[in-house]
Chain A
Amino acid sequence: MARRVGICAVAQTTWERDKWSQRFQGMALEVLEDLLARTGLTFSEDGGIGMSISVSDDIFDARTISDNAMTDVLGAHMGCEEKVAQEGLQALYYGLAAIRSGHVDVVLVLGHCKESQPASRNQVTHMAFDPFYTRPVGLDFTAAAGLQAQAYAARAGVGDRHLAQVVVRARQLATRNLKITGLPVVTAAEVLASPLLADPLRELHAYPVSDGAVGLILAAEERAREITDRPVWIAGVGNCMDSFFLGDRDLASNFPLRQAAARAYRRAGIDHPQNAFDVVELSDQYAYQQPMWMEGLGLVPAGGGGAWIDAGGPEAARVNLSGGMLAGNPLILGGLVRAAEAALQLRGEAGDHQVPGARRALAHGVMGPAGQFHTVAVLERD
């Protein structure tokens, strides 16, 4: 039986529309200094941080080998640094593997992204499509989400009014999250009147463009208990890849998320996920995804998304009390911030949105057009 791995500390910058005066190295340094102050760790293979896992993207950063710009911030002078070039929750998966393998005891995970830097986020995600069949027609992740929302809404009885409710709640919750700045609250009427982006998606249904950085310290059980008195255990992680072409998939089926969740639950020993979690942090890049991913996670009956919102489900299930991605995190960091927020809840450090006595949480990340790839992590405290 491999050893347990715990999250020992969490730090993040504020998430803002445009941190134009800061380079990404500066954002990351802010997080690193916070983590070192919280844990008293240094970079050292003798009891300190023995490996750094960064999360960034060459196209968002406009740099080949984007982690090349980060060596000093990541403490990788003559040390081990590796970049997860996927959605950030995958860095937790990789850190878990590296520690469980016995190779390293303490790992720094540190992700950064400035979505404000490219001319448009859609221009970046357009480049994920193949050059022959899907780029020429103009696809990007927003258009793909429009197609998925269309397919899902009909099947789950989720209408414009439900989506407005999801956005209003997210914006309201964001006011209690000190890391979200400059995001106004909105009314349902404002959401319903918001211009359409890709039907049925409206501008206010989409996650805001934001800049920021987030980090975690992971450690093997013995070290974790020395570093903190409130370690958060990674009980299980799972992920799954779906087909690339949108037409090859049933866009409303949640196939990859159901697989990812089943794997995470199996590793965490959870047989009945419905009542297993005190807190759920999921990556709702677009409003429709909040009910849809809940169905995929098996926490809401399939096809029951609309009824779930009507019944006050998001509040009852304590979904995205941080505001979620709808309050603003970059595409490639969404899931990693969800894990950070879930860990804060389990450590009792979630401030104004703390759930008293939270013991077990779920964090979810997603990447690719219309949710081609999902990651699910189950976190627990003693």
Chain B
Amino acid sequence: MKKNRNVGIVGVGQSVYSSHREEVNQPEMIHEAVVEALEMAGITMAEVDCVVHGNMELFEMVHQPDLWHTLGTGAWGKESLRVTTGGTTGATLAAAADHLVASGLHDVVLAIGFEKLQEGHTTGGITNMADPLWGRQLQTGALTGMTAAQMIEEFGAERAKAAAMAYRILMDANAMKNPKAHRRLGLRPDQAEELAANSPALVGELRMIHMCSQSDGACAMIFASEEKARQLCAQPAWIEDHVTAHREEMFCLFGNAPVLTTHRHCARKLFARNGIRDPRREIDLFEMYDPSAWWGLDWLREFLLLEGDEHLRMVESGAIAMDGDFPVNPSGGVIASNPIGATAMVRVAEAALQIMGRAGGHQLPRPVRRALASGFGGTMWTVLFLLASDTERQAAA
């Protein structure tokens, strides 16, 4: 399918991510991200045509919060759209902004994802996701130890646990370079055994140290038509493509039958549509929605269409580190910062910053021509984005 016109990302703004944002209310926190995004793009609200907004109502118990948040979003007098899809919301917002610009309806769109989890009760909010008749009494929040158990069965306890912890420590090393990151613990590789032994176990071998944080924060991004993007930005991050796949809430009815994951499904489709045969060679960076070290590790195999233990070897060899062959989450990822309605947008935003060369302390040492970013949410839902630089686009043309 031919895109009606190209869309570039020209600005990214992020509030500080923290479990403690008592000094700002919701619109004020959003405004921090909006101001930063406008500054990076070198524009004011006067040049924005439309504001796209999303989060989950029950996390803060505000009905249609874009109405109140107009005090901080800049949406007054503008067109607007509100879209939500669970943890994937932030990436869905980026997809919506892409459509709004590509369609020709708007030249400049501001998209905002946010969550102020400290104001509500996250696990209670997530429990309300389950069906009130069939699932709610069984649900325990987004926590699952299943992946850890499966990986231990497949690769042996020692190797699987070591790889998960290596992944965790690498992510923290990246977060230490990102001043916006919420959790920056300064973990060292030699602490791996001690952490594995002492971090509280949540479910089986899923331990506290493996899990994502619970953060307050907002992310804002500015999307512009090709013509406008070139005026505003020396190196916009171009949106090449994105794929979304959902699946049903009751997905384990058939026991251990092998099922295609939405991650692998999206990756196959995205790579096929964009002529990518060897993603690890043809893509320079991956910002993955990794809610725990176990999932991050496991999902590498799905997204990169790998078989066997290739994904473990990528972690063991350091290939996913910032100076490795295939860097993953130079931002520190979701384990470091997780303001749910923004989290998936942060993945797209961080991938864009790397292409734009604006990632600051966690900018990769070599140019990023093509980047992958994923969102995760709902009941194993996926949104997968492919971004590219001018160099990449010229090479492709």
Contact = CB atoms under 8 A, between A and B. Distances in A.
A94 B81 contact: yes
Contacts of B246: 71, 74, 76-81
B64 A241 contact: no
B318 interface: no
Interface in B65-102: 65-71, 75-86, 92, 95-96, 98-102
Contacts of B66: 86, 241, 373
Interface in A59-107: 59, 62-65, 67-69, 71-72, 74, 76-86, 90, 93-94, 96-105
Give the 4 A-B residue pairs with the shortest CB-CB distance, closest first.
Answer: A101-B102, A100-B103, A127-B63, A65-B86
A103 B3 CA distance: 6
A239 B80 contact: yes
A277 interface: no
B305 interface: no
A340 B292 CA distance: 44
A130 B244 CA distance: 33
A68 B132 contact: no
A281 interface: no
B378 A243 contact: no
Contacts of A96: 103, 105
Contact of B248 (A1, A57, A77, A373): A77
B25 to A, nearest CB: 8
Given A90-B82, A93-B81, A241-B77, A129 B70 contact: no
A140 to B, nearest CB: 10
B11 interface: no
A64 B125 contact: yes
B99 A240 contact: no
B37 interface: no
Contacts of A84: 81-83
Contact of A240 (B57, B78, B96): B78
Contact of A64 (B64, B83, B126): B126
Interface residues of B, number: 64
Nearest to B61: A127
Contact of A71 (B56, B58, B105, B247): B247
Contacts of A68: 86, 129, 249, 378-379
B84 A102 contact: no
Contact of A82 (B2, B56, B129, B244): B244
A65 B67 contact: no
A239 B69 CA distance: 17
B83 A82 contact: yes
B4 A90 contact: no
Contacts of B57: 57-59, 64, 85
Interface of B: 1-4, 25, 51, 54, 56-59, 61-71, 75-86, 92, 95-96, 98-105, 125-126, 128-129, 131-132, 243-249, 260, 262, 265, 377-379
B67 A239 contact: no
Contact of A241 (B51, B62, B244): B51
Nearest to B72: A244
Contacts of B84: 58, 65, 83, 85
A240 B66 CA distance: 12
A82 B131 CA distance: 19
25 contacts: A59-B63, A63-B129, A64-B57, A64-B58, A64-B125, A65-B86, A67-B378, A71-B247, A71-B379, A81-B246, A83-B83, A85-B83, A94-B81, A96-B103, A100-B4, A101-B3, A128-B68, A129-B68, A239-B79, A241-B77, A242-B70, A242-B77, A244-B71, A267-B105, A367-B67
A2 interface: yes
Nearest to A58: B57
A238 interface: yes
Contact of B4 (A57, A63, A65, A101): A101
A101 B225 CA distance: 12
Most A Cβ at <10 Å: residue of B4, B132, B249 = B4
Contact of A103 (B1, B63, B81): B1
Contact of B67 (A78, A98, A372): A372
A72 B247 CA distance: 8
A263 B243 CA distance: 30
Contacts of A78: 245-247, 260, 262, 265
A101 B82 contact: no
Contact of A243 (B70, B101, B245): B70
B23 to A, nearest CB: 15
A3 B102 CA distance: 12
A64 B44 CA distance: 34
Interface in A94-128: 94, 96-105, 124-128
Contacts of B56: 58, 64-65
A122 to B, nearest CB: 11
Given A128-B68, A242-B76, A71 B81 contact: no
Contacts of A74: 246
Interface in A259-318: 259, 263, 267
